[in-house]
Amino acid sequence: MALIRLMLTVALLALTSSALAAGIEIREFDDPVMEQRYRDLTASMRCPLCENQAIDDSDAPISGDMRERVYQLLKDGQSDIEIVNHMVQRFGEYILYNPRLENRTYLLWGLPIGLVLLGVIVVVMMVRARRNASAKALSAEERARLDALINRERSS
């Protein structure tokens, strides 16, 4: 019984120490607007190390450095655009979840719009083709065959 208690105590201490080792970053803000700006900025930037994870919820050391840099830039009074530009200059466009509209990103932004327009054009062409096909008049031979089928059904 004492051995089980000892093992539970050791396991509990191991879990507690690992949670403390991870560390919880506490940022002090005097202004709730600045705190919201910090949250928005860190949520809009991708960790360069992690796969598709924002820096605000990443445990990677580089994300911690990025959060610290955003915090310092906010404290220095820089605007959101200046902070984003600084981070992009330092880490590249990859960190932005929403890439900027530039010459090299036109295809990225325009391709979905182009595909939707192409789909609409294809659907319109298919509807017109079906409408024209169904509106075509029957030839004399087709009309005679249809009348024969109708008469056969009536006589049965």
The DSSP H or E segment spanning 95 is none
* Structure confidence by residue, pLDDT tens digits, 106-125: 777 788 899 999 999 999 99
Position 21 scores a pLDDT of 47
Let me know: does 63 contact 55? Beta carbons within 8 Å: yes
Tokens linked to 23: 């560390």
User: First vs last Cα of the chain: how many Å apart?
Assistant: 93
> pLDDT, tens digit, for every residue of 35-78?
999 999 999 999 888 878 889 888 889 889 999 999 999 999 89
Q: Calculate ∠ Cα 142-146-148, nearest 5°.
A: 120
pLDDT at 134 over 70: no
